[in-house]
C-alpha cells in the first residue's frame, strides 16, 4: 500500500462529490469507475478494474449519504485542470481485500 494523499467529500449539485489532487494517481482515463462501500469509514474507488484507490477515514456525517448515493462525481487534479467523471456506488456487505498495488487517500 502506498500513502498517496488526501481527499475531500462534499455536496455537489444535489449529489456527492469526491475531490483529490495527486499527480501520480491519474494514469490514463477511468474505465468503468465504481466505489465499493459497506457503510463504514472507508471505501475503495476503482478508477478501472486494475486501479484501486482506498478512501480512508470517511467522516461519519458523510457515511449515510454515501451509502444512499447511487453515484458520486469524482474530480482529480487541480481545479483549473481537473479530470471529472462519475463513479457508481456499489454497496457490499464487506469491502474485499485488495491484492497488489493500492494508493491510499485519507479524508481531510
Question: Residue 26 — very low, low, confident or very high, per pLDDT cuts 50/70/90?
Answer: low
How many angstroms separate the CA atoms of 9 and 1, rounded? Answer: 22
Alpha-carbon Rg for the chain in angstroms:
13
How many angstroms separate the CA atoms of 61 and 76, rounded? Answer: 22
Query: How many Cα atoms sit within 13 Å of 103 on the Cβ side?
Result: 20
Can you give the pLDDT at residue 24? 47
pLDDT one-digit tens code per residue, 41-89: 999 999 888 889 899 999 998 899 999 999 999 888 776 777 889 999 9
- Domain extent for 57: 2-107
Relative to beta strand 83-91, strand 34-37 is parallel
Among candidate residues 26, 28, 58, the one with its CA nearest the CA of residue 72: 58
Q: How many structural domains compose the chain? A: 1
* Beta-bridge partners for 15: 12
Amino acid at each position: 500500500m502506498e500513502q498517496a494523499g488526501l481527499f475531500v467529500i462534499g455536496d455537489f449539485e444535489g449529489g456527492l462529490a469526491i475531490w483529490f489532487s495527486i499527480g501520480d494517481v491519474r494514469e490514463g482515463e477511468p474505465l468503468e469507475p465504481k466505489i465499493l462501500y459497506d457503510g463504514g469509514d472507508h471505501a475503495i474507488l476503482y478508477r478501472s478494474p486494475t486501479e484501486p484507490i482506498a478512501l480512508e477515514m470517511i467522516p461519519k456525517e458523510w457515511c449515510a449519504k454515501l451509502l444512499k448515493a447511487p453515484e458520486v462525481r469524482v474530480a482529480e487534479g487541480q481545479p483549473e485542470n481537473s479530470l471529472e467523471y462519475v463513479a457508481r456506488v456499489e454497496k457490499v456487505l464487506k469491502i474485499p481485500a485488495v491484492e497488489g498495488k493500492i494508493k491510499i487517500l485519507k479524508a481531510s
